[in-house]
Amino acid sequence: MNWALYSRFVPLFFSIFILSWMLVPFWSKSAIRAGLTGKDIHKSGEQRIPEMGGVIVLLTFIIGLMGYIALRVFTLNAETNITLILALLTAVLIAGIIGLIDDILGWKIGLRQWQKPLLTLLVAAPIMAVNAGTRIMHLPFVGEVNLGMAYPLLVIPFLILMGTNGFNMLAGYNGLEAGQGIIILSTLAYFSYQTHSPWLAVVALCFVFALAGFWLHNKYPAKIFPGDTLTYTTGAVIAIIAILGNLEKIFLILYVPYILEFFLKLRGRFQKESFAQIQEDGTLKPRYDKIYGLENLMVLFLNKLKIKTTERRVVWSLHLFQLLFVLLTFVL
């Protein structure tokens, strides 16, 4: 990639970041007026925090993506990959709508556990329709395999199902979801560039900067919560970037924490909460005797080390755990 040519996207990234950062307070006021608030479980008191901040991340990403398409067509005179970009945009919008439905109906009516993954399969449809990715994969102990129609019909839906629902599980702490999304998508952006998909790296970074602007308001102590609108959307973008960039193996390594989270949640039949118990001094202690999530594990681990277990330290510990798998992608 010609760095001088693509450096013109830097103002686009900066604009996405600033727009996301500036719009969050406006959304917060509107959410409070509409009663879209929730209690911060790991804080004492009854202060209500505005919810569904993922709406702003989704909005600024769409604006940024439209700006990127405009730059490609009118400045770079490059119309290639437009079909894939629009398929990605459609899929992300579907994920955002499903997250929005889950945020609203989840409180008042309640979506059943089996309905959520079923709905997220709709996200795969646009990516399947454009026949994204490559059907030839290198499988461990097997070698090169041509999956044929099994790739668009089975692999794509599975990866998107895993991406959206998996990312939605490891959540519930100030700044956790946005921070994890920034780490994972930045890694995928790097590998997209290295595997000669610079346009995909730019798309991934558009979402990273949208997340970064939101993260400044969502980090401890959070002034806004992300909601399922953010988790479903971020998970969908991660999976789609991996598919379009043929980075499935990188995706699986980066998603090891989420695979572990799935089995720990399964241990509790998806009924146990990820939250810890707050003590009088503001520190956290495990809610259960057994471990039902990586969040529970990290709280227990910090307690065992006699470290003052604050919410901020739990989140940064989980980020460091994620960075181990980022490092592993480079080693492998």
> Residue 289: which pLDDT band, with cuts at 50, 70 and 90?
confident
pLDDT at 284: 94
Question: Quick check: 141 pLDDT over 80?
Answer: no
Structurally, the chain folds into a number of domains equal to 1
Q: Stretch 267-291: mean pLDDT, rounded? A: 89
Distance between CA atoms of residues 203 and 185, nearest Å: 10
> Residue 30: which pLDDT band, with cuts at 50, 70 and 90?
very high
Q: Residue 126 falls within a domain, yes or no?
A: yes
Q: Residue 35 falls within a domain, yes or no?
A: yes
Q: Residue 214 falls within a domain, yes or no?
A: yes
Q: Residue 265 falls within a domain, yes or no?
A: no
CA-based nearest residue to 103, from 158, 35, 191, 45: 35
pLDDT digits (tens, 9 = 90+) for 200-219: 999 999 999 999 999 999 99
> Residue 5: which pLDDT band, with cuts at 50, 70 and 90?
low
Question: Quick check: 77 pLDDT over 80?
Answer: no
Tell me the backbone φ, ψ of residue 278, rounded to 5 degrees.
Answer: -85, 140
Distance between CA atoms of residues 153 and 135, nearest Å: 11
In DSSP terms, which residues pair with 278 in a beta bridge?
Answer: 284
pLDDT at 252: 94
Q: Residue 79 falls within a domain, yes or no?
A: yes
Q: Residue 267 falls within a domain, yes or no?
A: no
| Secondary-structure breakdown of the chain: helix, strand, coil percentages, each rounded to the nearest 5 | 65, 5, 25
Question: Quick check: 128 pLDDT over 60?
Answer: yes
Q: Residue 241 falls within a domain, yes or no?
A: yes
Question: Quick check: 8 pLDDT over 90?
Answer: no
Structural domain boundaries, residue 143: 3-254
Question: Quick check: 2 pLDDT over 80?
Answer: no
Q: Residue 298 falls within a domain, yes or no?
A: no
pLDDT at 91: 96
